[in-house]
Structure 1
Amino acid sequence: MKKIALLLLSLLITNITSAQKIESEWVYWGKDGKLVYKTTPAGDKIMDFSHAGYMGGGIALPVVPAKRLVKPSGGNDDTQLIQNAIDEVAAMPLKNGFRGTVELAPGTFTCSGLIVLSVSGVVLRGHGSGAGGTIIKMVGSPHTAIVIGRGNTNVALGRTEKADSSTVNTIRTSITDAYVPSGSVSFTVADASGFKIGDIININRPVTESWVHFMGMDNMWRDGKKQTWIRTGAHGVTKRKIIAIAGNKLTLDIPLADSYDAKFLNPPGAIVVKAMPAPRVMQVGVENLHIQCPPLEIDYGHAPYAGVRVGGDDCWVKDVYCEETMNTTVLAGNRITMEKVIVKHTYANLGASKPTDFSLEGSQNLIDRCEITGGNMYFVWTSSLIAGPNVLLNCTFKGIGSRIQPHQRWSTGLLVDNCTVPDGGIDFMNRGIAGSGHGWTMGWAVAWNCIAKTYIIQNPPGAANWAIGCIGKREQTARLFDSNPVLPDGNFDSHGSPVGIQSLYLAQLAERAGTQGIKNIGYIANSKKMFPNKVVSVLPVKTDGDKTLGLNLAFARPVNTSDVKGNTHEFGGEKSVDGNQNTYWCTDDGVTKAALEIDMEGPVNMNALQLSEALGQHIEEYKVEAQLDSDWKLLAHGTTIGKNLIVKFPPTIAWKVKLTVLKAKTNVAISNFGLYLENGKSGSKI
Structure 2
Amino acid sequence: MHHNSAKIIRVKSLASRWFAVAAVLVSALGIVVQAATNLSVWAYPSASGRIICQPDALGNRLLDYSGVGYKGGTVPIPNVATKTNLTPVAGDNGARIQSAINYVASLTLDTNGFRGAVQLAPGLYPISNTIVISASGIVLRGAGDGGNTNYNTVLYATYVGAGQPSLILISNSPSYTTVTTHNITNMYVPVGSRSFGVDSTNGFAPGTPVFVRRPSTSLWITNIGMNLVSPAWSAGSFDIYADRTITRVEGNVVTLDEPITCALEQQYGGATIYSYNWSNRITNVGVEYLRGISYFNPLVVTNIGNSTNYYADENHTWTFVAFDGAIANGWARNLNASNFAYSCVQITGISASKPGARNITVRDCTSLDPVSIIDGGRRYAFVLNDSQFCLVQNCTTSNDRHQFVTQSLTVGPHVFVDGWSDNAYADAGPHFRWATGAMWDNVAANGDNLAIRNRGNLGTSHGWAGANEVVWNSKADGLNVENPPTARNWLIGSLGALVNNTAAIPYPATAGTYDSLGSNVFPNSLYYAQLQNRLAAPNTRTREYWIGDIDKFITASSTGEGVSVDSTWRSTVQSAAGTAMVNGFDIVTNAQWIPFTFNFSLSETDRIVGATLSVAMRATNAGATNGILYLDAIANSSPFGTLGWQPIGIGTNTTVRVLDLGSQLDLLSDGKLNLAVSGDLGMDWAMLELQVVPVVMTYTNIFYPVADAYVRGGVNVASNFGPATTLVVKTDSSADNQRRAFLRWDLSGFNGDLFHARVRLTPVSVGTNGIENGITLVASNQWNETTLNWNNRPIGGKRFATWIPAASVPVEFVVTPQAQA
Q: Given the two structures, how large is their TM-score scaled by the length of structure 2? A: 0.57
For the 8 Å contact 1:229–1:409, the answer to whether it is kept is no
1:67-216 alignment runs, 5 A limit = 67-74=83-90, 76-95=91-110, 96-130=112-146, 131=148, 132-142=151-161, 143-150=165-172, 164-168=175-179, 171-216=180-225
Q: Quick one: structure 1 residues 104 and 493, their matched pair in 2 at CA, closer, same or farther if it must change by over 3 Å? A: same
Verify: 1:248 aligned to 2:252, yes or no. yes
Instruction: Spell out, residue by residue over 1:117-161, the C-alpha distance to the aligned partner (whole angstroms, 9 max, x if none).
Output: 11100110000001220011110235211011226xxxxxxxxxx
Verify: 1:408 aligned to 2:432, yes or no. yes
Instruction: Spell out, residue by residue over 1:610-638, the C-alpha distance to the aligned partner (whole angstroms, 9 max, x if none).
Output: xxxxxxxxxxxxxxxxxxxxxxxxxxxxx
Q: CA deviation at 1:514?
A: 2.6
Q: In the alignment, which residue of structure 2 is the partner of 1:310?
A: 323
Q: For 2:347 and 2:7, how far apart are their aligned partners in 1?
A: 51
Q: CA deviation at 1:491?
A: 1.1
Q: For 1:369 and 1:273, how far apart are their aligned partners in 2?
A: 36
Q: Quick one: structure 1 residues 501 and 424, their matched pair in 2 at CA, closer, same or farther if it must change by over 3 Å? A: same
Q: CA deviation at 1:300?
A: 7.9
What secondary structure sits across from 2:57 in the alignment? coil
Q: For 1:395 and 1:516, how far apart are their aligned partners in 2?
A: 28
Q: Quick one: structure 1 residues 276 and 470, their matched pair in 2 at CA, closer, same or farther if it must change by over 3 Å? A: same
Q: For 2:281 and 2:521, how far apart are their aligned partners in 1?
A: 40
Q: For 2:226 and 2:460, how far apart are their aligned partners in 1?
A: 13
Q: For 1:194 and 1:245, how far apart are their aligned partners in 2?
A: 11
For the 8 Å contact 2:330–2:359, the answer to whether it is kept is yes
1:254-333 alignment runs, 5 A limit = 254-265=258-269, 269-294=270-295, 297=310, 299=312, 302=315, 304-311=317-324, 312-328=327-343, 329-332=345-348, 333=357
Q: Quick one: structure 1 residues 492 and 187, their matched pair in 2 at CA, closer, same or farther if it must change by over 3 Å? A: same
What secondary structure sits across from 2:458 in the alignment? coil
Instruction: Spell out, residue by residue over 1:296-326, the C-alpha distance to the aligned partner (whole angstroms, 9 max, x if none).
Output: 5455865543211113210000101001112
For the 8 Å contact 1:299–1:349, the answer to whether it is kept is yes
Q: CA deviation at 1:355?
A: 3.5
Q: Quick one: structure 1 residues 11 and 509, their matched pair in 2 at CA, closer, same or farther if it must change by over 3 Å? A: closer
Counterpart of 2:481 in structure 1: which amino acid?
Answer: I
Q: Quick one: structure 1 residues 495 and 83, their matched pair in 2 at CA, closer, same or farther if it must change by over 3 Å? A: same
Counterpart of 1:124 in structure 2: which amino acid?
Answer: L
Instruction: Spell out, residue by residue over 1:549-581, the C-alpha distance to the aligned partner (whole angstroms, 9 max, x if none).
Output: xxxxxxxxxxxxxxxxxxxxxxxxxxxxxxxxx
Q: CA deviation at 1:515?
A: 9.2
For the 8 Å contact 1:502–1:527, the answer to whether it is kept is no
Q: CA deviation at 1:488?
A: 3.1
Instruction: Spell out, residue by residue over 1:13-45, the C-alpha distance to the aligned partner (whole angstroms, 9 max, x if none).
Output: 9xxx99943000000011121212211111100
Aligned counterpart for 2:446 among listed residues 415, 422, 427: 422
Q: Quick one: structure 1 residues 365 and 12, their matched pair in 2 at CA, closer, same or farther if it must change by over 3 Å? A: closer
What secondary structure sits across from 2:413 in the alignment? strand
Q: In the alignment, which residue of structure 2 is the partner of 1:367?
A: 392
Q: For 1:499 and 1:292, how far apart are their aligned partners in 2?
A: 39
Q: For 2:40 and 2:175, how far apart are their aligned partners in 1?
A: 38
Q: For 1:210 and 1:514, how far apart are their aligned partners in 2?
A: 44
Q: For 1:402 and 1:210, how far apart are their aligned partners in 2?
A: 33
Q: For 2:35 and 2:87, how far apart are their aligned partners in 1?
A: 58
Q: CA deviation at 1:348?
A: 7.3
Verify: 1:217 aligned to 2:226, yes or no. yes
Q: CA deviation at 1:439?
A: 0.9
What secondary structure sits across from 1:394 in the alignment? strand
For the 8 Å contact 2:69–2:361, the answer to whether it is kept is yes
Verify: 1:232 aligned to 2:236, yes or no. yes
Verify: 1:340 aligned to 2:364, yes or no. yes
What secondary structure sits across from 2:403 in the alignment? strand
Q: CA deviation at 1:405?
A: 2.6
Counterpart of 1:510 in structure 2: which amino acid?
Answer: Q
Q: Quick one: structure 1 residues 53 and 18, their matched pair in 2 at CA, closer, same or farther if it must change by over 3 Å? A: closer
What secondary structure sits across from 2:532 in the alignment? helix
Q: Quick one: structure 1 residues 165 and 403, their matched pair in 2 at CA, closer, same or farther if it must change by over 3 Å? A: farther
Q: CA deviation at 1:478?
A: 3.5
Counterpart of 1:255 in structure 2: which amino acid?
Answer: P
Stretches of structure 2 lacking an aligned partner (at least 5 in a row): 1-5, 12-32, 299-309, 349-356, 540-753, 761-771, 777-795, 800-821
Verify: 1:50 aligned to 2:50, yes or no. no
Q: Quick one: structure 1 residues 326 and 231, their matched pair in 2 at CA, closer, same or farther if it must change by over 3 Å? A: farther
Counterpart of 1:232 in structure 2: which amino acid?
Answer: G
Q: For 1:437 and 1:486, how far apart are their aligned partners in 2?
A: 16
Q: For 1:409 and 1:45, how far apart are their aligned partners in 2?
A: 21
Q: For 2:456 and 2:104, how far apart are their aligned partners in 1?
A: 48
For the 8 Å contact 1:230–1:409, the answer to whether it is kept is no
For the 8 Å contact 2:124–2:156, the answer to whether it is kept is yes
For the 8 Å contact 1:479–1:487, the answer to whether it is kept is no
Q: In the alignment, which residue of structure 2 is the partner of 1:669?
A: none
Q: For 1:78 and 1:19, how far apart are their aligned partners in 2?
A: 49
Q: CA deviation at 1:354?
A: 4.3
Q: For 1:279 and 1:314, how far apart are their aligned partners in 2?
A: 13
For the 8 Å contact 2:478–2:499, the answer to whether it is kept is yes
What secondary structure sits across from 1:338 in the alignment? strand
Aligned counterpart for 2:527 among listed residues 499, 505, 527: 505
Counterpart of 2:332 in structure 1: which amino acid?
Answer: V
Q: Quick one: structure 1 residues 184 and 43, their matched pair in 2 at CA, closer, same or farther if it must change by over 3 Å? A: same
Q: Quick one: structure 1 residues 10 and 506, their matched pair in 2 at CA, closer, same or farther if it must change by over 3 Å? A: closer
Q: For 1:38 and 1:476, how far apart are their aligned partners in 2?
A: 28
Aligned counterpart for 1:40 among listed residues 56, 67, 74: 56
For the 8 Å contact 2:314–2:373, the answer to whether it is kept is no
Q: For 1:122 and 1:433, how far apart are their aligned partners in 2?
A: 43
Greater RCO, CA 8 A, separation 6+: 2
What secondary structure sits across from 1:509 in the alignment? helix
1:454-493 alignment runs, 5 A limit = 454-480=478-504, 485-493=507-515
Q: Quick one: structure 1 residues 173 and 314, their matched pair in 2 at CA, closer, same or farther if it must change by over 3 Å? A: same
Q: In the alignment, which residue of structure 1 is the partner of 2:622?
A: none
Q: For 1:498 and 1:449, how far apart are their aligned partners in 2?
A: 5
For the 8 Å contact 1:237–1:387, the answer to whether it is kept is yes
Instruction: Spell out, residue by residue over 1:218-245, the C-alpha distance to the aligned partner (whole angstroms, 9 max, x if none).
Output: 0113xxxxx0335535521111111111
How many positions carry a matched residue from both structures?
497
1:514-593 alignment runs, 5 A limit = 514=536, 527=773
Counterpart of 2:152 in structure 1: which amino acid?
Answer: G
* Stretch moving more, 184-193 or 32-41: 32-41
Counterpart of 1:367 in structure 2: which amino acid?
Answer: V
Counterpart of 2:178 in structure 1: which amino acid?
Answer: T
Stretches of structure 1 lacking an aligned partner (at least 5 in a row): 1-7, 152-162, 222-226, 535-686
Instruction: Spell out, residue by residue over 1:590-626, the C-alpha distance to the aligned partner (whole angstroms, 9 max, x if none).
Output: xxxxxxxxxxxxxxxxxxxxxxxxxxxxxxxxxxxxx
Q: CA deviation at 1:165?
A: 4.8
For the 8 Å contact 1:149–1:280, the answer to whether it is kept is no
